């Protein structure tokens, strides 16, 4: 996915700061890699297990951590419950503000951290609680799942727009024909939707690139659903006890789903899809 000029400049600045870091840590972009990381692809920094480096380095001078190196890119955290709870809850602030603030004894520094968080986790510590016929080792499957999923706090899960349960791939799945729409076609649709969003906010004179960055006041102007959609959202918000944050996140996601369809008005089906992605969110929040 190509960078926009402003996003590329932000990434360049972050990477130049990181290049000043002299401490040794795995996977950090150094000065010689800066051109590569900016001009070719968004940064997708996979499988971060060096949790102390998520927000800053161990240098004497604060330098950008992984959340900032993923600025305008993807931050992928594998096995989410294995991170320390305080490290995970530290994600809440950059998710909300797009900045990582580092406070040390005599200084306070903030780095940009507008990343897309993608996280993966097993259903339970044994990893197979949802498989038919599998019995968890130490306790009933339901309790094993609840224990493991409770490691993700309610406030953090409330900030996740889409939670999707993915069943294990079976041998039968592997021999199925390839889907009609491949990754390249999906990529084109995503790029078109992102361009549409950039145009929308530029036309309004706002310094926003994506629906995800839009504050609630802007949503009133760009994401008002039609009558059927508004009724569905009102009922769902009541039934699911959506927080104000959850309500606005559903609206933003529905706006994006409509953009992917190339439709100007958010309809009932766009909201129904956006709301469905919060179903699993509620289950995990109940376990927390
Ligand atoms: Zn288990």
Whether residues 49 and 116 share a domain: the answer is yes
Please indicate, yes or no, if residue 32 is contained in any of the structural domains: no
Whether residues 160 and 212 share a domain: the answer is no
Please indicate, yes or no, if residue 177 is contained in any of the structural domains: no
Whether residues 195 and 128 share a domain: the answer is no
Whether residues 91 and 147 share a domain: the answer is yes
Whether residues 70 and 160 share a domain: the answer is yes
Task: Give the domain CATH number at 99.
Answer: 3.40.50.300
Residue 217: other Cβ atoms inside 10 A: 7
Whether residues 49 and 148 share a domain: the answer is yes
Whether residues 73 and 129 share a domain: the answer is yes
Dump strand ranges (E) for the chain. 44-45, 74-77, 99-104, 107-112, 116-119
- Half-sphere exposure in the Cβ direction for 117 (13 Å, CA): 22
Measured in Å, residue 82 CA sits from the centre of ligand 1 at 14
Task: Indicate yes or no: pTM above 0.85.
Answer: no
Please indicate, yes or no, if residue 11 is contained in any of the structural domains: no
- Which residues of the chain are modeled with pLDDT < 50? 22-51
Measured in Å, residue 154 CA sits from the centre of ligand 1 at 21
Answer with the one of 113, 131, 164 that is the final residue of a domain: 164
**What does the pLDDT look like over 145-158, one tens digit per residue?**
999 999 999 999 99
Whether residues 51 and 150 share a domain: the answer is yes
Measured in Å, residue 81 CA sits from the centre of ligand 1 at 13
- Counting the structural domains of the chain, the total is 2
Which tokens belong to 169? 């791939």
Whether residues 160 and 195 share a domain: the answer is no
Integer Cα distance of 247 and 273 in angstroms = 14
Please indicate, yes or no, if residue 133 is contained in any of the structural domains: yes
Q: Which residues of 115-126 are buried (b: 16+ CB within 10 A; e: fewer)?
A: bbbebebbbbbb
Measured in Å, residue 162 CA sits from the centre of ligand 1 at 23
Measured in Å, residue 120 CA sits from the centre of ligand 1 at 16
Q: Which backbone phi and psi does 42 adopt, to 5 degrees?
A: -65, 150
Measured in Å, residue 281 CA sits from the centre of ligand 1 at 19
Domain range enclosing 237 = 189-287
Integer Cα distance of 198 and 209 in angstroms = 5
Please indicate, yes or no, if residue 123 is contained in any of the structural domains: yes
Q: Are 235 and 241 in contact (CB under 8 A)?
A: no
């Amino acid at each position: 996915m190509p960078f926009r000029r402003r996003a590329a400049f932000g990434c360049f600045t972050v990477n130049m700061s990181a290049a000043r870091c002299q401490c040794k840590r795995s996977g950090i972009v150094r000065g010689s890699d800066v051109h590569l990381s900016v001009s070719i692809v968004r940064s997708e920094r996979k499988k971060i297990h060096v949790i102390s480096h998520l927000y800053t380095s161990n240098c004497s001078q604060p330098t950008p951590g992984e959340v900032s190196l993923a600025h305008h890119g993807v931050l992928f955290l594998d096995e989410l419950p294995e991170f320390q709870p305080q490290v995970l809850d530290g994600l809440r602030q950059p998710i909300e503000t797009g900045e990582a603030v580092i406070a040390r004894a005599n200084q306070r520094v903030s780095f940009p951290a507008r990343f897309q968080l993608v996280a993966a986790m097993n259903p339970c510590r044994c990893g197979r609680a949802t498989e038919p016929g599998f019995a968890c080792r130490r306790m009933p499957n339901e309790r094993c799942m609840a224990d493991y999923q409770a490691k993700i706090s309610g406030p953090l899960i409330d900030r996740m727009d889409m939670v999707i349960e993915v069943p294990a791939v079976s041998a039968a799945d592997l021999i199925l024909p390839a889907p009609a729409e491949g990754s390249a076609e999906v990529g084109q649709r995503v790029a078109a939707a992102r361009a549409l969003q950039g145009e929308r906010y530029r036309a309004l004179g706002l310094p926003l690139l994506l629906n995800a960055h839009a504050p609630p006041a802007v949503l009133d102007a760009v994401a008002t659903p039609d009558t059927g959609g508004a009724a569905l959202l009102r009922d769902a918000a009541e039934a699911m006890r959506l927080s104000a944050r959850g309500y606005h996140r559903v609206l933003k996601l529905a706006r994006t789903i409509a953009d992917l369809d190339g439709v100007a008005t958010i309809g009932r089906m766009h909201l129904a899809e956006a709301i469905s992605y919060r179903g699993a969110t509620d289950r995990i929040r109940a376990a927390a």
